[in-house]
Chain A
Amino acid sequence: MHHLYRSYGRLRVLRDVSGAVETGEVLAVTGDNGSGKSTLLRCLAGLMAPQKGTIVCRLEGRELDVIERRRAVGYVAPDLEFYGELTTLENLQFACRLRHLDDDRAGHLLQRVGLPLNRPAGKLSSGMRQRLRWAWALLHRPRILLLDEPLQNLDAKGRDEVLLLLTEQLENGLAVIANPDPLELPNVARHLHLAR
């Protein structure tokens, strides 16, 4: 990402933000509330366009466009929600079918993150919803992980489980992790602090 700018009306959130991350590395983004961490991750995911600056994402030597980038990333964020009427398994199976994956992958990941298969997503606790976000994000074995406050609401066991999944994922991918305070994470190669 090169010299990114983004504002909401007159409120400037991102001002000349630059950085890079390579395969196997983690870029840790820290900053106070409202400093633009979530906005930066949304821009990187292709959910929002920066008003100035460029984002270049190369996968296997090929540059991805915005639509490809969206489908390629694994994204965890507090404002990512699932269908409350559907069970955890149905929610992930829906994602599997849209991503052309085998339905079994949904059950496997739900077991990895320790979630019941048949509970409606609307009846999950906040910690369980966070585990579901992790399972959803890792479904398609993404090479790029964008994690916004990834350990939010997780208990100690949940944290260990998702950090293990993250370590596995980093063997062949990269991650950008945003959190207000620095987290103890594996493979943190670069650090970016956003000022409000």
Chain B
Amino acid sequence: MWRDICIWLAETATIFNKEWRTELRTRYALNTVGLFAFTTLVTTTIALGPAGISEPARPFVVVLLWMILLFAASAGLPRTFVHEEESRTAMALRLMARPSSLFCGKALYNLVLIFSLELLVAPLYIGVMQLPIGSMRHFVLALLVGGFGLALGSTLTAAMVAQAEAKGPLFAVLAFPILLPLLKFAIDATLAATADQSLLIARGEVALTLGILYDGTLMVAALMLFPAIWNP
């Protein structure tokens, strides 16, 4: 049992290392995600900031933060599986790797990518928009829960999209129902974290709990569904 877990972890780490090694040589996802985040951040700042925000505008600014994260992630994350099919390396992977370790290796890579994006974008966004943070702990937790779900949902959707003929528009169509509830929870939790009222923070905790439950459900569903998506 313990030996099987070690073997599985080693396979997952091998996939994760390969993803980063190829990414660092092409920098496709890093450039796409980074450029998208930078462009939207600058556009938002020019259009809205940095004059400071009024209370009625606060929800709008929070939603905008998640939109930046969602679209930046959508621009780079689906490549994980689509590139394997397009460059015809998927066949070798199918013959070598266990579906579960393959999925987890790729999801882990997307997770690191999205957490790095959040680490870069969130402080900049808070700074330029002068977004007040009532509870930093809740704000960070909202980013972690939202980022985890985004990475997992994007990896699963990318695996489905990679099998299709028309890959371009399909990602948005498939990702929408998977990521919509998660975004709702993440936005509610972030909104509560930016408020300075205990009642709102308590509401945020409910949203965070729901987000964690959604992430867990998504994880289990992804591990169950992925072998059927990946195998003929």
Which residues of A are at the interface with B, using a C-beta cutoff of 8 A?
A: 45, 47-49, 66-67, 70-71, 73, 75, 77, 79-86, 90, 94-95, 97-100, 136
With a CB–CB cut-off of 8 A, which chain B residues contact A83? 18, 22, 87, 89
Q: B92 to A82, Cβ gap below 8 A?
A: yes
Q: A99 to B10, Cβ gap below 8 A?
A: no
Cα–Cα, bound, A66→B11 (Å): 19
A190 to B: closest C-beta gap in Å: 24
Cα–Cα, bound, A49→B96 (Å): 18
With a CB–CB cut-off of 8 A, which chain B residues contact A48? 232
Cβ of B88 within 8 Å of any chain A Cβ, yes or no, is yes
Query: Chain B contact residues: over half helix, strand or loop, or mixed?
Result: helix
Instruction: Name B96's contact: one of A77, A79, A99 (CB within 8 Å).
Output: A99
Cβ of B21 within 8 Å of any chain A Cβ, yes or no, is yes
Candidate in B21, B26, B91, B96 with the most chain A CB atoms within 10 angstroms: B96
With a CB–CB cut-off of 8 A, which chain B residues contact A94? 14, 18
B24 to A: closest C-beta gap in Å: 9
Q: Output the nearest chain A residue to B93 by Cβ-Cβ distance.
A: A98
Cβ of B97 within 8 Å of any chain A Cβ, yes or no, is yes
Can you name 16 extra interface pairs (CB under 8 A) apart from A71-B95, A79-B88?
A45-B95, A67-B98, A67-B231, A77-B91, A79-B91, A82-B92, A86-B18, A86-B21, A86-B22, A95-B92, A95-B96, A97-B14, A98-B15, A98-B97, A99-B96, A100-B7
Cα–Cα, bound, A67→B89 (Å): 18
State the interface size on chain B (CB cutoff 8 A).
Answer: 22
Which residues of B are at the interface with A, using a C-beta cutoff of 8 A?
A: 7, 10-11, 14-15, 18, 21-22, 25-26, 87-89, 91-92, 94-98, 231-232
Q: Output the nearest chain A residue to B25 by Cβ-Cβ distance.
A: A85
Q: A98 to B96, Cβ gap below 8 A?
A: yes
Candidate in A45, A94, A99 with the most chain B CB atoms within 10 angstroms: A94
Q: B21 to A136, Cβ gap below 8 A?
A: no
Q: Output the nearest chain A residue to B95 by Cβ-Cβ distance.
A: A70
Given contacts A49-B232, A90-B21, A98-B11, are A81 and B95 in contact (CB under 8 A)? no
Cα–Cα, bound, A66→B231 (Å): 10
Given contacts A79-B88, A97-B10, A100-B10, are A73 and B232 in contact (CB under 8 A)? no
Q: A82 to B7, Cβ gap below 8 A?
A: no
B198 to A: closest C-beta gap in Å: 51
Q: Output the nearest chain A residue to B227 by Cβ-Cβ distance.
A: A67
Instruction: Name B26's contact: one of A49, A67, A85 (CB within 8 Å).
Output: A85
B208 to A: closest C-beta gap in Å: 37
Cα–Cα, bound, A85→B89 (Å): 12
Cα–Cα, bound, A67→B15 (Å): 18
Q: B87 to A81, Cβ gap below 8 A?
A: yes
Cα–Cα, bound, A43→B232 (Å): 10
